[in-house]
Amino acid sequence: MQWRSLVLGLLLLRLGLQALLALLPALAPGLCLRRRFPFPFPPPPAALGPPGAAAGPGSSHWGSLLRRGGGGGAAGGDEYARRYSGAFPPQLRARLRDAARGMFVFGYDSYMQHAFPRDELDPLHCRGRGPDRHDPSNLNINDVLGNYSLTLIDALDTLAVMGNSSEFQKAVKLVIDTVSFDKDSTVQVFEATIRVLGSLLSAHIIITDTKQPFGDMTIKDYDNELLHMAHDLAVRLLPAFENTKTGIPYPRVNLKKGVPPDSNNETCTAGAGSLLVEFGILSRLLGDSTFEWVARRAVKALWSLRSNNTGLLGNVVNIQTGHWVGKQSGLGAGSDSFYEYLLKSYILFGEKEDLEMFNDAYRNIQNHLRRGREACNEGEGDPPLYVNVNMFTGQLMNTWIDSLQAFFPGLQVLIGDVEDAICLHAFYYAIWKRYGALPERYNWQLQAPDVPFYPLRPELVESTYLLYQATKNPFYLHVGMDILQSLEKYTKAKCGYATLHHVVEKTKEDRMESFFLSETCKYLYLLFDEENPLHKSGNKYMFTTEGHIVSVDERFRNSLWQDILPGEEDGAEKIKPNELKAVNFSSNCNRVPDERRYLLPLKSNYMRQIDQMVGLI
Please say if 529 is a catalytic residue: no
Q: Which candidate in 143, 191, 374, 402 is catalytic?
A: 191
Q: Which candidate in 120, 122, 440, 529 is catalytic?
A: 440
Mapped to the 3 state alphabet, what secondary structure does 390-455 carry? ECCCCCECCCEEEHHHHHHHHHHHHHCCHHHHHHHHHHHHHHHHHHCCCCCEEECCCCEEEECCEC
DSSP state of 381: S
> Is 423 within 8 Å of 410 (Cβ atoms)?
no
Q: Which amino acid is at 167?
A: E
Burial class (CB in 10 A: 0-12, 13-18, 19+), 320: middle
> Is 461 within 8 Å of 523 (Cβ atoms)?
yes
Strand partners, 317: 267, 324
Going 243 to 249 to 251 to 252, the CA torsion angle's sign is: positive
Rounded distance, CA 127 to CA 115, Å? Answer: 5
Q: Which candidate in 122, 354, 402, 459 is catalytic?
A: 459
Please say if 120 is a catalytic residue: no
> Is 155 within 8 Å of 514 (Cβ atoms)?
yes
Mapped to the 3 state alphabet, what secondary structure does 258-289 carry? ECCCCCCCEEEHHHHHCCHHHHHHHHHHHCCC
Nearest one of 576, 451, 470, 458 to 194, comparing CA atoms? 458
What phi and psi, each to the nearest 5 degrees, are found at residue 252? -135, 155
Please say if 440 is a catalytic residue: yes
Q: Which candidate in 167, 336, 340, 529 is catalytic?
A: 336
545 is in an annotated binding site: yes
Mapped to the 3 state alphabet, what secondary structure does 110-173 carry? HHHHHCCCCCEEECCCCEEECCCCCCCCCHHHHCCCCCCCHHHHHCHHHHHHCCCHHHHHHHHH
- For residue 61, give the 3-state DSSP assignment: helix
Question: Any long-range contacts for 482-491 (C-beta under 8 Å, 24+ apart)?
Answer: 482/429, 482/432, 482/433, 483/432, 483/524, 484/96, 484/99, 484/100, 484/103, 484/524, 486/432, 486/436, 486/437, 487/103, 487/456, 487/520, 488/99, 488/103, 489/436, 490/436, 490/437, 491/437, 491/454, 491/456
Longest Cα–Cα distance of the chain, Å, equals 99
Other C-beta atoms lying within 10 Å of the C-beta of residue 60: 11
Nearest one of 357, 280, 255, 313 to 558, comparing CA atoms? 280
Write the CA distances from 585 to 83, 360, 590, integer angstroms: 32, 11, 12
Torsion of CA 502, 507, 511, 515, to 10 degrees: 50
Please say if 573 is a catalytic residue: no
DSSP readout, 70-112? --------THHHHHH-SPPPHHHHHHHHHHHHHHHHHHHHHHH
Residue ranges for the known binding site are: 545
Residue ranges for the known binding site for Ca(2+) are: 545
Catalytic annotation, residues: 191, 336, 440, 459
